[in-house]
Amino acid sequence: MRQEAIIQNIKVRSDKDLSEVIHKSKNRVYCTINKNILPQIARYLFNEEKARFSIASGVDTRKAVEILYHFSIDEIGLIVTLRVILDKSNLEVESLTPLMKCAEWIEMEIHEMLGVNFKGHPNLKHLLLKDDWPKGNYPLRRDSN
């Protein structure tokens, strides 16, 4: 019941900016949304549904870079994944760190590994790589050496 309500709420809030909803298995739902709606949907999940931000996965799919934000709704064991597809010519998305501190480290990691710029991140430096790592070399990119 609650699962359907959450998905319905995401649908209503994102309207045309929601391109796909996949029910992969009983407790795993993937919603592909437009990046301009991400802060709003994340705020809904984190503040209204009291979801726990589990982690984000950055993926280079060759055509684009995808960021998957995994939110866990622990009361019903559900993981709602918000998928944002970023064009390689404009790897930029709004940072979620001002909304929730727990996004700070993973955004730093995706920034250094895939070269995504998180707008509004308070401290976008290297997390895992050393400070003098060559600029423009992103280890998790398909075209990286």
Partner 1 sequence: MAHKIIPIGPYHPLQEEPEFFKLHVDGETVVDIDIEIGYNHRLIEKIAESKSFDQVTFLVERICGICSTSHPFAYVNAIDDLLGIQVPERALYIRTIIGELERIHSHLLWLGLAGHFLGYNTVWMWAWRYREPVLDIFERVTGNRQSYAMMKPGGARRDMLEEDFPWIKKTLKELIPKFDMFKGAVMDDPVIHARTEGVGVLTKEDIRQYSAVGPTARASGVAIDVRKDDPYAAYDKVEWKVITHEGGDVYSKAVVRILELYESIDIILQCLDKMPKGPIDSGIKDIPPGEGIGRHEAPRGEVIHYVMSDGGNSPARHKIRAPSFMNIASNKKAVIGETISDATIILAAVDPCYCCTERMAVVDYKTGKKIMDGQDLVRLSQEKTEKIKSKLGRR
Interacting residue ranges for partner 1, rule: CB under 8 A: 24-25, 27-28, 30, 50, 52-55, 57-61, 68, 70, 72, 74-79, 81, 100-102, 104-106, 126-130, 139-140
Distance of CA 111 to the CA centre of its chain: 12
Q: Which is nearer to partner 1, 40 or 61 (CB)?
A: 61
- Asked if 21 and 30 touch (Cβ cutoff 8 Å), the reply is yes
Query: At its nearest, how many Å lie between partner 1 and the CB of residue 126?
Result: 7
Q: Which is nearer to partner 1, 36 or 123 (CB)?
A: 123
Tell me which residue of 70, 71, 69, 64 sits closest to 92, measured CA to CA. 64
Tell me which residue of 17, 19, 25 sits closest to 78, measured CA to CA. 25
Token pair of 135, please?
């600029």
Q: Which is nearer to partner 1, 16 or 135 (CB)?
A: 135
Query: At its nearest, how many Å lie between partner 1 and the CB of residue 28?
Result: 6
Q: How many residues does the chain have?
A: 145
